[in-house]
Amino acid sequence: MIRRFVHTSAQVQRGRTAFYNIHQKVNDPAKQDPDYFEKKARSLPLDENYIDALSKLYYEKIGSERDLGLKAADNLILEKEEFGLPKIDKTKLRSKYEDLDVMQNAPELVKKIFSVEMATRKELSHEWKNSLIKSVRQHSLDSNSLEMKIAWLTALIRHWSLLVNDMAKTSEKKPTWLTHRIWLVINERRKCLRILREQNEAAFETTIKSLKISYHVPKKMTHVKTRKAWAEAQLKLRVEKEKEARLEELHEKYDKELEEHRRDTELKRAELRSELENVTEKMSKIAVIEGKSFKIDGKYEPALISSLTENVIHSNLFYHPPPNMVQQ
């Protein structure tokens, strides 16, 4: 009993095993491309470590999904300062005081108090939202269009991302209460973008260009989301790629060899024709010398000769001179 108690106490004293966090922080902006890991899988060398490299790449892909999901659409990887938010002149009045007549002739000190420079975080967020909304709204009274909603959600996402970054400077613990809200807003914006793309593609293109949003049409998964299935899918794609590359190489080689063969064949035919002409010329000269043939100058016309011969023979056989009726 004592030994068992000591053994149990040792287990309790050691505590639980170390926690492994699968999520990784992404520091490479190239990973914002949705096909980055698939492209990298196709470029892996085909050696004995190919399957292990695919497995390692899969875990890197899974570990990067959370950070990329929060930042990739707004190109926030390695962003430490602006976070895609518009630059606002800090000396200008805040938007809710801009249209007040009393502020036009107010002293500079009063204007500074009501300027963006003296604004709270909430008021600064309002300025960012107004700036983004003005860049895409349909008219000055627009408050319900999809473009306006997308701009408002984009400002919210980027402001909260900046807030998460500021919190990380003072605390190692990530504010999950805020990141969960960012996820919800990102999903809502994705839905609005999809609807806008279906309804008005021109407005959709203008909106994502003005707000600098990287929108990618979500692809339907062709395999189960497991390491084995993903590795098998990438291996099939790699095999197809290598097969096509090999076939293309063989096709180019065949075309090249065929062209060379045709060229060589034409040269050999030309040589044979020249040799045949030389032999024929020599044979004709020998036949002339032996008297078996004769050399013809000009063009031989057998049809004309036959016709003239026939006319001469007929004239000799059937020609009768006309009678002479004059008496002598």
Is the backbone of residue 212 left (phi > 0), alpha (psi -120 to 50) or beta? Answer: left
What residues does 93 pair with on adjacent strands?
115
Q: Per-residue pLDDT tens for 286-322?
A: 887 877 776 666 777 888 888 888 888 888 887 767 7
Locate 215 and state its tokens: 């929108």
Which single residue is written with the structure tokens 């490479």?
28
Whether the pTM exceeds 0.75: the reply is no
Residues 6+ apart with CB under 8 A from 223: 229, 230, 232, 233
Q: How far is CA 3 from CA 6, 7, 12, 26, 268, in A?
A: 5, 6, 14, 49, 99
Q: For residue 310, what are the CA distances in angstroms to 5, 305, 317, 318, 322?
A: 140, 9, 11, 12, 22
Contact, 85 vs 261, CB < 8 A? no
Higher pLDDT, 277 or 289: 277
Query: Residue 272: pLDDT above 90?
Result: yes
Of the listed ranges 6-15, 31-40, 223-232, 247-256, the least confidently predicted one is 6-15
According to DSSP, the residues that pair with 115 across neighbouring strands are 93
Distance (Å, whole) CA 250 – CA 314? 74
Is-contact 27 78, C-beta < 8 A?
yes
Q: What's the Cα-to-Cα distance from 154 to each of 2, 151, 199, rounded to whole Å?
A: 64, 5, 20
In sequence order, what are the residues at sequence separation of 6 or more whose Cβ sits closer than 8 angstroms to the Cβ of residue 158? 74, 76, 83, 84, 85, 128
Name the amino acid, one letter, at 288. V
Q: What is the DSSP string of 165-176?
A: HHHHHH-SS--H
pLDDT in tens, 89-100: 888 888 888 778
User: How does pLDDT run across 119-165, given as a tens digit for each residue?
Assistant: 888 888 888 888 899 899 888 888 889 999 999 999 999 999 989 98
Can you tell me the mean pLDDT for 41-52? 88
With CA atoms as reference, report the closest residue to 176 among 190, 160, 191, 192: 160
DSSP conformation class of 145:
S
What average pLDDT does the chain have? 84
